[in-house]
Amino acid sequence: MLGIIGAMDVEVNGIIEKMENPEKRTISNITFTKGTISGTECVVAKCGIGKVNAAVCTQTMILTYKPDRIINTGVGGATSDKTHIGSVVIADKVVQHDFDTTALGDEIGTLFLSDENIKYLLCCEKLCKELENTCSALADIDYTVGTVATGDRFIATTEDRKLLNSRFNAVACEMEGGSIGQVCYINKIPFCILRSISDDNSGDEGAHVEYSVFVQSAAEKAIEIITAYIKSCPTD
């Protein structure tokens, strides 16, 4: 079973609408929709914005539905010259840029798990390659593979975007993927992050204005890719 998680309605409703025989179940105030798309069994959930919401959703999905892989989909902000409004990012690794114990001598972003300390969480190579192949097969999809930086803050300034790029070599930022990745890593579930860029600070109005203008079209592009991926990906 494929698990799909997005933070907002605009990121998941278009996927849920394509489901056959949908079954809804609400756990911890999160609605999970199980069904099939193009013969592939899927479960889709809107987790809500932020790392804690994303972690609760991911762990609940894993325990309840036992997906064999999870994709976090949605929109994100550009943090590199390689990414811009309308482009797509496939994560090969994720980092939590706001996890900061540097005062104790640790590298910023270092996570403390039960049996190891780790900074970057690697995405599943197979999932990443399948999403690359999907993007390559679609018309007019400009995509980049790289690091996605996650934190509980909307990144709104050019200075902050450049800092994430210089500090982590991040090509995109958002607020859920690193948390979803951590839960998947702990549970040994293959995962990947797909983000369609909705803001890049290129306009004079500011990132929050770009986001409000482009979030719908960016989310639709991500949904198009996820739907095409499901049609072409193996069902095992």
Compute CA distances 110 → 19, 98, 105, whole Å: 38, 10, 11
User: Which residue in 63, 21, 17, 14 sits closest to 41, CA to CA?
Assistant: 21
Going by their DSSP bridges, the two strands 88-96 and 111-112 should be labelled as unpaired
Annotated catalytic residue within 92, 174, 176, 199: 199
User: Which residues 6+ apart lie within 8 Å of 37 measured at CB?
Assistant: 15, 18, 19, 20, 227, 230, 231
Q: Can 106 be counted among the known catalytic residues? A: no
Place of tokens 């990443």: 128
Q: Can 107 be counted among the known catalytic residues? A: no
Residue 233, token pair as written in the block: 């990906």
Angle 207-232/9-16 helices, nearest 10 degrees? 20
Residues making up the chain, counted from first to last: 236
Annotated catalytic residue within 11, 174, 176, 210: 11
* Residues known to be catalytic: 11, 199
